[in-house]
Chain A
Amino acid sequence: MLLTVRNLVMAYDGRTVLDGVNFDLEEGELKIVMGPSGCGKSTLLRCLNRLATPTGGQILFQGEDILRPDTDVRALRQRIGFVFQNFALYRHLTALENVTLALRRLRRLPVAEANARARHELSRMDMLAHQDKYPAQLSGGQKQRVAIARALAMDPAVLYFDEPTSALDPLMAREVVNMLHQLRRDKVSILCVTHDLYLARAAGARVLFLDQGKILAEDEPERLFDSHADPRIRAFFRQELEQQRPEPLPI
């Protein structure tokens, strides 16, 4: 088991954001976490690489308890690939340099080798032609692909996506599904936090429903969205479906 989360609790400012979260992620698995806004989805992800520090519970990653005070947080983060909602590319660096920065400064690879690795990842993401462009010169979808290449370059044990489609236009958002499928084929373990129903359905993976700080349900998308026993969950998905009526594709 790659990742095990037990009874994760996160409280601050008098609010309990996470109230006993439990789930697992196997190697090579893709799981989606969905829930109403403010349910703590992003906080959950940030606990997984200690960008946020939970107040209670246990997180076992690759067999290690990562919440121990003596955990080497920096080493942990180097084994995790994190893709931010707005991609967070370093805007003073080209696409290539964005990918090579960690390779050169953390892995201490020589320039030639770092560039070769980076170019490999960029071409995997179909972005090799744009390697010398700056983030400001790239579209949203292109930035995301560079962000993924940047994350993959370090050969992480898992990829965490924070709302991958919310900063993209609807057409690009559909591409994300294809990308997730491709990554799955490459045996990358992925945990994806989203509120995008289309993505959750089309990704073809188990969906975890997070609400009021707990995982209330985990199931295949169809069963979860359309016919779940819990009326609260049914109501949520009905509402989301109304708000997220899919856009007709351009002819």
Chain B
Amino acid sequence: MNGLQIFLSQALEYWPQIVAGLGNTLLLAAVATVSGLLGGIGVFYLTLSSNRLCRRLTEAYISFFIGTPLIVLLFLMYYGLPQWGVQMSPLTVSVIGFTLNVSAYNARYLMTAYRSLDPDELQAARAQGFSDWQVFRLVTLPQVLRLSIPALSNQAILNVKDSSVAFLIQYTEFFAQMQDLAVRSFRFFEAYLVAGLVYVLLVSVVVLAARWLERHYVLPGARRKY
């Protein structure tokens, strides 16, 4: 099949860019996962604040970023802000956008897990004389993180898949490179199909890692309400 031969020869020629693109995909996914996790923990901490206004604002933040598409946020920063003189690279925009978005989701997962904690354990920690921050760090956080491993690792998978959205704001990640390959070789179907398979592969790696995590860090005797 001549078409396939063209595709393969183009793919071979374009190989280094594709690999670079893959690196960029993994970079964005990894950064988004880490910053989204840290951000999520921070936002979750704010939802426990004794200050009512703080709690309200935080919950509004979570609600808003869960209810709006990530792509809108990215477009706002990448296509909108330059009109105000603020230019940011696609990677920067993506990292900021993903962090804001993913933090909201992760905070929500941690909040759900928090509801299945035993309030007496937190009281016992306070009774022992630990400060609020120590109770959070030594009792609350270790437990909610472990309870949320399924949800958090699912989010990591979403981050890998959603990294393809960054293609729409000209981030030269893997899908963008496959798009280039498709255009050059006119073999759109093969290019996108291969792209799809690669994503399935990447996701599978994360799934395996998540299962390992779950086995090793499951909370002994945990009540999984969700």
Contact = CB atoms under 8 A, between A and B. Distances in A.
Interface of A: 49, 51, 74-78, 80, 82, 84-86, 88-92, 101-102, 105-106, 134-137, 150, 154
A77 B146 CA distance: 29
24 contacts: A51-B123, A51-B126, A75-B129, A76-B129, A77-B126, A77-B127, A77-B128, A84-B123, A88-B118, A90-B121, A90-B124, A90-B139, A91-B118, A91-B121, A91-B221, A91-B222, A92-B142, A92-B220, A101-B138, A102-B129, A105-B138, A106-B130, A135-B221, A137-B220
Q: Which of B118, B128, B131, B138 has the largest count of A CB atoms less than 10 A from its CB?
A: B128
B10 to A, nearest CB: 53
B219 to A, nearest CB: 6
Contacts of A101: 128, 138
B125 interface: yes
B159 interface: no
A106 B129 contact: yes
Contacts of B222: 91
A150 B121 CA distance: 13
Contacts, number: 72
A86 B121 CA distance: 9
A136 B224 CA distance: 14
B134 interface: yes
Given A74-B131, A102-B128, A102-B129, A88 B120 contact: yes
B42 to A, nearest CB: 21
A136 B129 contact: no
Interface of B: 118, 120-121, 123-131, 134, 138-139, 142-143, 146, 219-222
A188 B178 CA distance: 74
A91 B220 CA distance: 7
B212 to A, nearest CB: 19
Nearest to A75: B129
A167 to B, nearest CB: 11
Contact of B129 (A77, A88, A90): A77
B219 A92 contact: yes
Nearest to B121: A88
A66 to B, nearest CB: 13
B221 A49 contact: no
Contacts of B120: 84-86, 88
A95 to B, nearest CB: 11
B144 to A, nearest CB: 10
Contact of A134 (B123, B129, B131, B220): B220
A90 B220 CA distance: 11
Contacts of B123: 51, 84, 88
B146 A106 contact: no
B78 to A, nearest CB: 42
A55 B123 CA distance: 20
Contacts of B219: 91-92
A154 B221 CA distance: 27
Contacts of A76: 129
Contacts of A84: 120, 123-124, 127
A136 B138 contact: no
Given A82-B124, A91-B121, A74 B221 contact: no
